[in-house]
Amino acid sequence: MPLDSEQIEKQILRFQDELFDRGLRLTKQREQVFRIVLGAEGHLSAEDLHRQVREQNRSIGFATVYRTLRVLVDCGLIEVRQFGDGVQRYESAAGDHHDHMICVACGEVFEFEDDEIERLQIKAAESRGFEIVSHRLDIYIRRCDSPKCGPLSKRRLNHR
Amino acid sequence: MPLDSEQIEKQILRFQDELFDRGLRLTKQREQVFRIVLGAEGHLSAEDLHRQVREQNRSIGFATVYRTLRVLVDCGLIEVRQFGDGVQRYESAAGDHHDHMICVACGEVFEFEDDEIERLQIKAAESRGFEIVSHRLDIYIRRCDSPKCGPLSKRRLNHR
DNA sequence: TTACATGCAAACTCTTTGCATATTA
DNA sequence: TAATATGCAAAGAGTTTGCATGTAA
């Protein structure tokens, strides 16, 4: 779920501030990379990012994309995900927190939110005296109803 | 939490069966690798595995370790984890399911179980018509009480 | 004796780094 | 002009693959 344009501008300003605090600069390339992440539907790999930024900036290199992603992670503006294919994927840290359901048949990733699960996680950590920094919940599902998987059949799934 | 020796032997037999079904063989190397995983306390990388197996079998190569791990994953006997450092870690799929708390300060990994969180996950997937294959819940905590981190201070943590 | 398995080294993928050049405050 | 950024290519990690040799049913 991409952010609306007002939120995007707010994020860019925030990036500029965070960079300034670190003695760094908001360059054209950094802004381009961040805007793609902010506007993206899903979870982009560095390769996805590089390809998309190159549509507006032929000469940008992989190194700049990776370096920018690292700065964005350090600033807490984006988050890294790994869904098990060995590739890091990035998404905006803005917006509501959500978890992921990944279809093992077709690779489609769905976002979902569950406040009660969130609550229980905090409780589980607190009961051990720990403070949560962040968390990741990935649920792998057998198949889904995306075009790639086709509609789920009418017969009941093998629920347990 | 390593398995007891009775469970370990059961797992080895299961491996043999699964291999047989696939027209493969239980070799010395495959058994050695699997036994290390079954007996291990925590979550081992391929490098950890290779180092430990080499203590009993000087000549085993990385390729054999990786190939064995792949077969074990295919057989559903072990699971792969990625805690964000770009290294795959493996653990036995036997025993109760558990989730992980990872200390961002020192890297220590704690296992925990929470039946209610499990239940809610199943509910969340079912409500969308999906069947869960597996899931991963990793909670990142600011610091812990391991020797590397030192004891948690007495002042209240910043619980929310 | 035929198919599968191993060990080695080379290849491959993703990511990071070194360095000369370019850009910004 | 002094510091930060960039692009390129090379290096690095972790993992996979090709191939000749070894091993097991």
Q: Is residue B146 part of a domain?
A: yes
Q: What is the mean pLDDT of chain A?
A: 88
A60 and A135 fall within a common domain: no
Pairing outcome for strands A109-112 and B44-45? unpaired
CA B52 to chain A, closest CA, distance in angstroms equals: 24
- Same domain membership, residue B34 and residue B86: yes
Å from the A134 CA to the C18 C1': 34
* pLDDT one-digit tens code per residue, A122-138: 999 999 999 998 898 99
**C-beta of residue B19 within 8 angstroms of C-beta of residue B75:** yes
B134 sits in which H/E element: strand B132-141
Is residue B128 assigned to a domain?
yes
Nearest by CB to A120, from B114, B125, B152: name it: B114
| Cβ neighbourhood burial of B99 (10 Å; 0-12, 13-18, 19+) | buried
Quote the domain boundaries for residue A136: 99-154
* A120 lies in the same domain as A79: no
**pLDDT tens column, B134-156:** 898 999 998 898 887 765 544 33
A132: domain CATH number is 3.30.1490.190
pLDDT above 70 (res A155): no
| B151 backbone dihedrals φ, ψ, rounded to 5° | -65, 150
CB B21 under 7 Å to nucleic chain C: no
C-alpha distance from B80 to closest chain A C-alpha (Å): 8
Determine the pLDDT at residue B109.
87
Q: What is the pLDDT of residues B74-93, one digit of tens each?
A: 999 999 988 877 889 999 99
Is residue A117 located within the same domain as residue A65?
Answer: no
Count up the domains in chain A and report the number. 2
Q: Provide the whole-model pTM.
A: 0.82
In a domain, B39, yes or no: yes
Rounded to the nearest angstrom, the gap between the alpha carbon of residue B121 and the centroid of all alpha carbons in its chain is 20
What's the pLDDT score for residue B155?
37
Residue A160 falls inside a structural domain: no
| Same domain as B56, residue B20 | yes
Chain B residue whose CA is closest to A84:
B82
> pLDDT tens digits for A47-67?
999 999 999 999 999 999 999
Q: State the Cα–Cα distance between residues A116 and B124, nearest whole angstrom.
A: 11
Indicate if B77 and B116 belong to the same structural domain.
no
B91 or A159, which is more confident? B91
Is the same domain home to A77 and A137?
A: no
pLDDT in tens, chain B (160 residues): 678 899 999 999 999 999 999 999 999 999 999 999 999 987 899 999 999 999 999 999 999 999 999 999 999 999 998 887 788 999 999 877 889 998 887 778 899 999 999 999 999 999 999 999 889 899 999 889 888 776 554 433 333 2
Give Rg (Cα) of chain A: 18
Which pLDDT does position A150 carry in this prediction?
A: 63
Measured CB to CB, residues of chain B less than 8 Å from chain A are 80, 82, 84, 86, 88, 101, 103-104, 110, 112, 114, 116-117, 120-122, 124-126, 128-145, 152, 157-160
- Shared-domain flag, residues B13 and B87: yes
For residue A160, what pLDDT is reported? 27
Please check whether residues B84 and B106 belong to one and the same domain.
no
Q: Which of A92, A112, A146 delimits the end of a domain?
A: A92
| pLDDT for the residue B153 | 47
In a domain, B159, yes or no: no
In a domain, B160, yes or no: no
CATH number at residue B12: 1.10.10.10
Q: Which amino acid is at A11?
A: Q
State whether B24 and B79 are in the same domain.
Answer: yes
Same domain, A42 and A59: yes
Instruction: Please state whether strand C lies within 7 Å of residue A145 at its CB atom.
Output: no
